[in-house]
């Protein structure tokens, strides 16, 4: 029986802790570390204060093709690609670093709001690219690189920013957010 390295186990615990803090599901932790399921579940409960969510991981590439997820996923993947090719951050560490940068730049309107792209979906996105199911396509209008199905024609690709769908941004949540910003009281200086 091979003995586990204490330093490797400590690295795995730190890596798992980072991913749990960012919202990773238990299946992601099991795939990226050598810690047991029970150990990861205990660590998850200790950090998040609740049991890990159950169920299957998201597995469809079609989610990444809808307009808002495509924009957010493209932002994340471009950062990930840059970090993975031009820095010492590789693999899952590049995914963690890229996701942290994505969260800083995603422009979430409310601090407690869920980001459009979860860590688990970001991790799946990297796996979809690695398996050749997705590609980056250059928009012919703005030149940005956006996620598209692999082997889609590239010559006439137009991104979701240059050509948003007709009802983009007209959801109930967007209307509530707009109404909330209009209803906010305007601070005035007190007379002296």
Torsion 137-138-142-143 (CA) sign: positive
d(CA 2, CA 12): 17
- Measured distance CA(62)–CA(126) in Å, rounded: 14
Other CB atoms within a 10 A radius of the CB of residue 123 amount to 24
Q: Per-residue pLDDT tens for 10-47?
A: 999 999 999 999 999 999 999 999 999 999 999 999 99
Tell me: the pLDDT tens digits for 63-105?
A: 999 999 999 999 999 999 999 999 999 999 999 999 999 999 9
Q: Are 121 and 58 in contact (CB under 8 A)?
A: yes
φ, ψ (nearest 5 deg) of residue 130: -60, -30
**Of 38 and 192, the one with more pLDDT:** 38
Residue 139, annotated as binding a ligand: yes
Global pTM reads 0.83
Please name the residues in contact with 163: beta carbons below 8 A apart, sequence gap of 6 or more.
141
Task: Give the Cα separation of 146 and 52 in Å (integer).
Answer: 32
Any known ligand binding at 50?
Answer: no
């Amino acid at each position: 029986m091979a003995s586990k390295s204490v330093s490797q186990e400590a690295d795995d615990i730190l890596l798992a802790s980072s991913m749990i803090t960012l919202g990773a599901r238990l299946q992601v932790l099991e795939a990226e570390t050598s810690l047991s399921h029970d150990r990861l579940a205990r660590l998850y409960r200790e950090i998040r204060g609740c049991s890990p969510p159950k169920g299957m991981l998201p597995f469809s590439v079609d989610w990444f093709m809808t307009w808002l997820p495509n924009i957010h996923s493209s932002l994340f993947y471009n950062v990930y690609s840059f970090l993975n090719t031009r820095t010492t951050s590789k693999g899952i560490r590049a995914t963690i670093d890229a996701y942290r940068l994505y969260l800083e730049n995603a422009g979430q309107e409310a601090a407690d709001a869920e980001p459009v792209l979860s860590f688990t979906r970001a991790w799946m996105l990297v796996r979809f690219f690695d398996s050749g199911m997705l590609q980056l396509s250059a928009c012919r209008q703005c030149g940005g690189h956006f996620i598209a199905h692999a082997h889609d024609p590239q010559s006439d690709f137009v991104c979701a920013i240059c050509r948003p769908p007709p009802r983009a941004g007209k959801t109930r949540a967007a209307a509530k957010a707009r109404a909330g910003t209009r209803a906010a009281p305007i601070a005035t200086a007190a007379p002296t």
